[in-house]
Amino acid sequence: MIEPCLPRVLRLIQQHPEKVSVEKIAQRINEDRNYVALALEKLAQRRIIVKEGEFYAYRKTLSSKEFAEKIMAVYDEVTKKRERELLCIGIVAMASQYKYLISSNTLLQTLKMEGFEPEETNGFLEQEIADGRIVGVRIIVGNKSGVFPSIPPFLPSYYIPRYCQHLCLEEYERNKQRWVASGLFILEEDYLAANFPDEIAIQAKEYLDKEMDRVKESLNQKAFQFWYGLRFYGFKFIYSVKIPVCNITH
Q: What is the pLDDT of residues 171-184, one digit of tens each?
A: 888 888 888 888 88
Query: Which CATH number among 1.10.10.10, 3.20.20.70, 3.40.190.10, 3.40.50.620 corresponds to the domain 5-60?
Result: 1.10.10.10
User: In a 3-state reduction of DSSP, which class is residue 14?
Assistant: helix
Give domain limits for the chain.
Answer: 5-60, 83-247
* Eight-state DSSP code of residue 133: S
Dump pLDDT digits (tens) for 33-45: 999 999 999 999 8
Using CA atoms, how far apart are residues 68 and 72, in angstroms rounded to an integer?
A: 6
Kindly tell me if the per-residue pLDDT of 225 is higher than 60: yes
**Measured in whole angstroms, how far is the alpha carbon of residue 100 from the centre of its chain?**
16
Mean pLDDT, to the nearest integer, of 94-119? 91
Mean pLDDT, to the nearest integer, of 158-165? 61
What pLDDT does residue 224 have?
83
Whole-prediction pTM: 0.74
